[in-house]
Chain A
Amino acid sequence: MPEATYLDANELVINMGPQHPATHGVLRVKLRLDGERVLGTECIIGYLHRGVEKIAENRTYVQFAPYVDRMDYVAAVTNGMGYCEAVEKLMGVELPPRAQYTRMILAELQRIASHLLWLGTHALDIGAMTPVFYTFREREEILKIFENYCGARLTTHAFRIGGLQYDLYDGFEKDATKFCDYLLPKIDEYEELLSTNRIWMNRTKKVGVLSGKDAIALGVTGPVLRGSGVKWDIRKVQPYEAYDKVEFEIPTGQNGDTYDRYIVRIQEMRQSVRIIRQSVERLAPGPIFGKVGKVIKPPAAEVYHSIEAPKGELGYFVVSDGSTHPYRVRVRPPSFVNLEALDIMSRGHLVADIVAIIGTLDIVLGEVDR
C-alpha cells in the first residue's frame, strides 16, 4: 500500500503491534483509519528474521533439516516433511510404505494441532474465552504422541532425508486411534460453542471477505483459498507420500469470509482424522528408510516441491551444485504470502475486525520472517 503523504483531517495512522497479543507474534501493522474504519493497512515484518535461507547454504542437507522446524514452529512436522521430500525428490528416492504412512499420520496430527491452536487463539482474540482451554487440552494429547515418538514436542525434527529416524514406538497405533476417537466429539463440542453462536457469527460473517478470484490473484493458499470456494488441495491435485491412496474430502466455503474459513478448518480436522484412521490401518511392518547413502549428495539440478501444510502451500525450491551443501534453498512460506492479503481483506472494516482477519489468516511470524 502506498503510504499517505499527508493526513486528511479525518485520517489517523495508528500502529498495531509488534507487541500486541492479537498479532500472534511480532507483526506490526500500520493502520490508516477514518474514525473506526480502516482505510488501509501496511504490514511491517521482519522482526523475527533469522536468515534461514542463508543458513541453508552454509549447512549440509542433513544439518539444515532441524532449522526448518523453527519456521512454522506450531507445525514443525509438516515443515520437516516438506524439506525432506524436496531433497528426496531431487535425489529421486522412493520411500517405503511404512515411512510414508508414518509421515502422513504425524503430519495430519500436526495439522490438527495447528488448527486447534489456531481455533483457540482466534476465538480468544474475538472474545470467546472458553475454546482456548479446550483446544489446548486436545493439542496436548497430540504433543504427547510426538514426544513419545521422537522426544520433542514442538520442534520435532521427526523425519530424516530418505525416511524416518525412529520406527514407531509400541502402542503408537493405539494412541493414534484413541486420539481420533477422543477428538471427534470434542470438535462437535467446539462447534456447539461457536458455530451457531450469535456473537461468533456477528464477528465473523461478512468479515474479511475474499472472493475466489481475488484469492488466486493474491496467491493465497490453504484454508484461506478453500474458504473462498476454490477446491484446491495439494494433497489431492499433486499427491505426495501416499495421499492418493487414502480417501478424504476437500472442504470448501462459499462466501470467503472469516466464518467460512472457520468452518473449513473445522472440517479439515475431521478429514485429517479420516486420513489418520486409514493410514493406521495400512501401517505394515517394513523398512522405514528409502535407498539413500550416508552422505546426502544430490545431483546438480534444481527442484521445487510443495506440500499442503496446515497454513497453505509450503514449497521448497532446492538448487544443488552436486555437493553436500545446498547451493540455495528457497522456502515458499504460506504465511508470508497469505499475510499479503490482509490489506485487501481489511479495507472498510472496523479496527476490531483486523484482529479477526489476522486470526483467520492463521499466520505464524516465524514463518513469515524466516
Chain B
Amino acid sequence: MADEPKAPPSGGPSEPPAKSPEAPEGAAPPAKPAGKPPAPAGKPPAPAPKPAVKPEPWSSPLLDELQKRFPEAISDPLIFRKQPSIVVAKESLLGVCEFLKSDRGGSYTLLTDETAVDYPKREKRFDVIYHLYSFQRNDRLRLKVLVGEGEKVPSVVGVWLTADWLEREVFDMFGVQYEGHPNLKRILLPDDWTGHPLRKDYDILRQDDAWVQANLNIKSGQ
C-alpha cells in the first residue's frame, strides 16, 4: 500500500468529482495545480508542488463482475491512493456483501471497520462506510451506502459477525438505524442519552444536560 501519487490530473484545481461525498460546503480545491509556471523566485522551494491529486475512476475485473451481477446497484467507483471505493445501493447491500465475502467475489472475509460520515446538507445525509479486507487478494475495498435520515440500513451482522459492535457504535454516534441487528442499542453513551454526538449539527459543547443533571448531580457545563 505504498503511496504513489497519481499522475497529476491534467485539469486545474477542479472541483471534487461529481457526486463524490466530499466537500459539503463546496470546499475550496486543495493544493494548487501541479506547478505550471515556476515563479517562486527568491524564496527557497516552498512546499514542493504536489500534484493536486483527487480520486479517479476505478476499474477492475472485480468491479465488472459486481456490475454484471448487481446492475444498477453499484455506482461511483473511485480510486484514490490505491484505495478503491464504491457506492452500493442500500437495497442490494446484503447481496453485494455476501458475494464479496464468497470465494468468487474475492473472499473479503474480514470486515475491518464500519463507520459513517455525516453530510447534513445532502439529501441522504449519511455515508455508511464499510472497509473490507481480503486475505486472499491482500487488498482492501471500501463500500459506501447512502442513507437518509430515518431510513434503515440492512445490518451486515449476518455476514460479518464483527459488525455487531461497530453498527451499535454508528447507531450511537449518528443515529443510523439498522434493520436486522440483533441488539441495536447504544454502546459508548448511556442508554438514555439523547442526541447523536457525531452528527455535524451536534455542537462540540453540547451535551444531554438533563441526563448529566439527573445522573451526575452536577450542573452541566462544569
Contacts and interface: CB of A to CB of B under 8 A. Distances in A.
Contacts of A301: 16, 22, 53-55, 80-81
A229 interface: no
A336 B166 CA distance: 9
Interface residues of A, number: 60
Contacts of A268: none
8 contacts: A49-B188, A54-B204, A94-B3, A217-B109, A291-B47, A301-B53, A320-B30, A330-B115
Nearest to B129: A317
Interface in A1-49: 1-2, 45-46, 49
B54 A46 contact: no
B129 A46 contact: no
A286 interface: no
Contacts of B118: 328
Interface string B33-57: 0000000000000111011111100
Contacts of A320: 22, 30
B187 interface: yes
Nearest to B24: A321
B47 A293 contact: yes
Which 5 interchain pairs have the tightest Cβ spacing?
A: A219-B162, A293-B47, A299-B30, A46-B188, A321-B27
A81 B135 CA distance: 24
Contacts of A88: 3
Contacts of B129: 317, 330
A152 interface: no
B99 interface: no
A2 B54 CA distance: 45
For A90, A91, A294, A369, the residue with the greatest tally of chain B CB atoms inside 10 Å of its CB is A91
Interface stretch (A166-174, A232-240, A256-264, A353-361): A232-240
Contacts of A370: 188
Given A303-B80, A332-B112, 12 more contacts: A238-B138, A291-B50, A297-B31, A299-B31, A301-B55, A302-B85, A304-B113, A322-B22, A322-B29, A328-B198, A332-B131, A369-B188
B212 interface: no
SS class of chain B's interface: helix, strand, loop or mixed?
loop
B28 A323 contact: yes
A51 B3 contact: no
Nearest to A90: B81
A302 B22 contact: yes
B164 interface: yes
Contact of A322 (B28, B85, B109): B28
B30 A300 contact: yes
Interface string B49-80: 01111110000000000000000000000001
Contacts of B182: 2
Given A219-B160, A300-B29, A303-B81, A54 B197 contact: yes
Nearest to A85: B3
B113 A327 contact: no
A359 B26 CA distance: 48
A227 interface: no
B50 A327 contact: no
Contacts of B27: 300, 321-323
Contacts of B11: none
A125 interface: no
A321 B25 contact: yes
Given A299-B54, A321-B25, A332-B131, A218 B113 contact: no
Interface string B6-29: 000000000010000011110111
A336 B165 contact: yes
B5 interface: yes
Contacts of B23: 300, 321-322
Interface in A248-302: 291-294, 297-302
Interface string B151-190: 0000000001110111001000100000000110011111
B131 A91 contact: no
A1 B22 contact: no
Interface in A75-94: 88-94
A368 to B, nearest CB: 9
Nearest to A291: B48
Nearest to A3: B183
Contact of B52 (A219, A230, A299, A302): A299
Contacts of B53: 92, 299, 301
A132 interface: no
A232 B161 CA distance: 19
A92 B204 contact: no
A306 interface: yes
Contacts of B164: 340
B129 to A, nearest CB: 7
Nearest to B119: A327
Contact of A330 (B111, B113, B161): B113
B183 A1 contact: yes
